Chains A and B, each alone.
Chain A
């Protein structure tokens, strides 16, 4: 039985003790919640990490929060009232309110709160027991205590008015939390719909920071930026000479230059092939390429046919930076082994072209290959 004298004689020391007790209880509750999390939500084991992070974060902020709460309500009796009263008015909402205080809006999923509802009685009993233990009370049945307390509370109009304010405030807080939880749930569903592991990791990685905006737009923007930076790193490995450059703009410039130079090289090489191929075609008309002694060699032929090509080649050589030179040396190194592969392809090409009439004309050309690469087993295709 609570009476007026006991509640009014409570000083600040007892209030502080209650804070400590409440803090301890909250810790217990969180451990319980964590266990519940582990058992009931095995789908999202990675949320444990966040939860523990948030737990440490919220634990540091929690006593201050509780202190504010108690300072708002100076008398000990009114301190006893709020959690109890909230529970009596809205059982499920009350536990949600506690949860929102402890876990900072994380574990506010609706099924979790519904599952938490059966346990609320004993948790609330824990609260009452601790508070009464501090007040020097004997232990009695929690539900009876609550009933009697509620009766006494209803007897006092002023206190009840204050509690109405308190409960409405808690309810508004709780609705805020609900909104947050629905938002987070939709995000979760979205991420699950895409259903890829690294996206989940993305989500966690993005979300785990503290002091950053948590609305969906900025989260998405952050994820996008991280994706872009990852792709940039990939490109940095691919584009030569990009390792030294820091900053996205310079890297983009380098990538653009590289792509442009490669495309120019393709153009140049196609011109070269086009200039080389007529000779092959002419050699198909006549007997062999040796019938054209007056035919100029390739660069002079290019320059005589269209001066733009020669200027292109010069421009390419001039504009080629250092890594381009490296590339071309690589190409010259590679070209020796590449001729092997291309001549390794020539047999099947000849096999394909056996129906063509010009295979006889092309034969001396491939025969020159077979002389240089006799280890390819090329002769059997020709016979």
Chain B
């Protein structure tokens, strides 16, 4: 248990630092002309996505939530590559997702529905699987938070020197 957590932690740290470096790479140097707040917001969004997807990659694809998260990230990336607005949803997908949402709402609107909204891909799971995935997701999130905290502390302390 602790060994797998450690391995997960190491794997995630590696992936996250790599993606941070990629985000820091100077291809986005034009951002200096923009407003600083917007830049930081966009950058924080990118970092957040990178953290989630690197966590999902580190956790492996045998879990439903990692698959859901990665597929969502992929679709977002595709949308960004095609230069569409990130909030734009094509009409067919929109209809499908609305149907799915209605089905999920019809099934349970209570606490389980809330949990479904929190865990990626949770809207399509039945209750037992949802709890199982939630357990794994919580474990991974705790590791993620710990590592990100450590990285942030490290960066801020080293850069303030």
Contacts and interface: CB of A to CB of B under 8 A. Distances in A.
19 contacts: A252-B115, A259-B138, A259-B141, A260-B118, A263-B118, A266-B144, A266-B145, A267-B48, A269-B148, A270-B45, A272-B156, A273-B151, A275-B44, A276-B156, A280-B155, A306-B37, A306-B41, A331-B149, A349-B17
Contacts of A263: 118, 141
- Grouping DSSP codes into helix (H, G, I), strand (E, B) and loop, the A interface class, with mixed when no group exceeds half, is helix
A266 B141 contact: yes
Contact of B152 (A238, A239, A273, A343): A273
Interface stretch (A72-80, A99-107, A210-218, A226-234): A226-234
A342 B145 contact: no
A366 to B, nearest CB: 9
A265 B145 contact: yes
A271 B158 contact: no
Nearest to A252: B111
The 3 closest A-B CB pairs, nearest first, are A338-B150, A231-B131, A274-B44
Given A281-B26, A353-B21, A358-B26, A235 B44 contact: no
Interface string B112-154: 1011001100000001100110110111011011111111111
Contact of A253 (B10, B44, B111): B111
A258 B114 CA distance: 12
Contacts of B160: 289, 297
A278 B51 CA distance: 17
A146 B127 CA distance: 60
A189 B144 CA distance: 43
Given A277-B43, A342-B150, A256 B115 contact: yes
B47 A280 contact: no
Given A278-B43, A279-B159, A258 B138 contact: yes
A345 B13 contact: yes
A253 B156 CA distance: 35
A78 B147 CA distance: 84
Contact of B128 (A224, A262, A265): A224
A356 B127 CA distance: 48
Interface in A238-265: 238-239, 249, 252-253, 255-256, 258-260, 262-263, 265
A277 B36 contact: no
Interface of B: 9-10, 13-14, 17-18, 20-21, 23-26, 29, 36-37, 39-41, 43-48, 51-52, 111-112, 114-115, 118-119, 127-128, 131-132, 134-135, 137-139, 141-142, 144-156, 158-161
B111 A249 contact: yes
Nearest to A267: B48
A30 B65 CA distance: 52
B47 A270 contact: yes
A273 B158 contact: no
B135 A234 contact: yes
Contacts of A275: 40, 44
A228 B37 contact: no
A34 interface: no
Interface in A312-344: 331, 334-335, 338-339, 341-343
Contacts of B135: 231, 234-235, 238
Contacts of A289: 159-161
Given A255-B134, A266-B148, 9 more contacts: A232-B131, A234-B131, A259-B137, A266-B145, A272-B156, A277-B43, A305-B36, A305-B40, A335-B153
Contacts of B132: 231, 234
Given A238-B139, A270-B148, A345-B17, A365 B158 contact: yes
Contacts of A232: 131
B131 A235 contact: yes
Nearest to B10: A341
Which one of A238, A239, A277, A352 has the greatest number of beta carbons of chain B within 10 Å? A277
A349 B37 contact: no
A270 B158 contact: no
B134 to A, nearest CB: 6
B26 A238 contact: no
B48 A270 contact: yes
Interface string A280-314: 11011100010000000110000001100000000
B114 A256 contact: yes
A368 interface: yes
